[in-house]
Amino acid sequence: METALEMSEVIGVIDLPDRMTPPPYGTECIFAGWGDNELKNQPATLRWTTFKIFNHDECRAKGETLRDSELCVLAPDKKSYTGG
């Protein structure tokens, strides 16, 4: 950026959690990115969705395999996803 942002009612700073501190189980989180879509190409616009964070035991009971460092998330109308 060529100039600094001016803080206002709608522009501000947020505190981010420690990288290794996962959100509490049951939390609904918003995930955003430009990753591959259903057609295996990368869209030009930012995409987002919401997921609920599940504990590892719940995910493993659904047949998911995940590392302790990964999150397990599930959207009501989507299949589960594990990833770090």
* Whole-number pLDDT of residue 41: 73
∠ CA 76-78-79, nearest 5°, is: 110
How confident is the model over 17-61, as pLDDT tens digits? 777 777 888 988 888 887 776 667 777 788 888 888 988 888 888
| Buried/exposed code over 72-82 (b: 16+ C-beta within 10 A; e: otherwise) | bbbeeeeebbb
Residue 7 confidence class, pLDDT cut points 50, 70, 90? very high
Letter for the amino acid at 19?
A: R
Are the beta carbons of 63 and 57 closer than 8 angstroms? no
